[in-house]
Structure 1
């Protein structure tokens, strides 16, 4: 990789898509239900239809607000961008990485000595955390491929150095 190349990993946005599409479907269903209930003069649809449309509009609004994490390496700098939250680390200050499993995958970075780096909290709830949150659909294999492409090795968690059997 040359110095001016940009390598980027955009995390899958499954929840964002599902909230946008589900909200649109609910909003259309609520509007259609209200219109049909007014035509047929049915009181239940007149009450429930606008409620379903409002819930659909709220889902669209909430899905639109979801920020998708992006990992980038460009000009000797590693960047993690999620909306207005940006972490910039000089590439030389990263020694290795590890991926935390779970419902929402997370990326941990270590300094060249092997100590985990601390990052300010994304949501502002805690003072710091030792990882950067990704999305639930982000596979470990994609993160491994991205890190291999930029030249960051995985963290060796073995207690004893040497050969593996």
Structure 2
């Protein structure tokens, strides 16, 4: 593979908080301006603007998971949490179903690889969390372009 392949998982909560926050800011501005200068409408508008700004700020802080495969490594990034695995150590993958989907990587013998926890806890996990809006078909096509076979079709299992 000569170029890197990249997949950004959609984060639904991010978009809801951004659009909801911007809508509250706009609604607050309309309420404050159209209230004919009454102190209650100005206070309500200010509260709506502050709440909307807080929601939009929180939406901007949410980091979506990014999967990237280059010539020599597989990389998973979610905020400041980064996992790098040499490409030649990956034998297959599997996608865990559920409300929040996850991606598991296996070595060439079919054993799941272990990764450190996301929150710097002492436990480790065998999967990398994606988002609930991530389509498993997109993950499968991404891994196919990267050249990593699914676990059920790997040569060693």
TM-score normalized by structure 2?
A: 0.88
SS at match of 1:156: helix
- Change in CA separation of 1:125 and 1:26 when aligned onto 2, cut-off 3 Å: farther
Structure 1, unmatched stretches of 5+, are: none
Paired with 1:126 and 1:67, the residues of 2 have a C-alpha distance of: 23
Q: Deviations over 1:120-149 (max 9, x none)?
A: 122335622111111111100000111111
Paired with 1:108 and 1:119, the residues of 2 have a C-alpha distance of: 10
Following superposition, the deviation at residue 35 of structure 1 comes to: 2.3
CA-based RMSD of the aligned residues comes to 1.9
Q: Deviations over 1:45-70 (max 9, x none)?
A: 33332222221111101100000111
Structure 2, unmatched stretches of 5+, are: none
Matching residue of 2:22: 24
Paired with 1:125 and 1:54, the residues of 2 have a C-alpha distance of: 34
Matching residue of 1:121: 117
1:146 equivalent in alignment to 2:142: yes
SS at match of 1:50: helix
1:1-165 to structure 2, matched below 5 A, reads 2=1, 4-37=2-35, 39-41=36-38, 43=40, 45-125=41-121, 127-156=123-152
TM-score normalized by structure 1?
A: 0.84
Q: Deviations over 1:73-131 (max 9, x none)?
A: 11221001112211100011111111111222110111111111111122335622111
Paired with 2:22 and 2:121, the residues of 1 have a C-alpha distance of: 31
Paired with 1:124 and 1:118, the residues of 2 have a C-alpha distance of: 14
Paired with 1:47 and 1:41, the residues of 2 have a C-alpha distance of: 9
SS at match of 1:61: helix
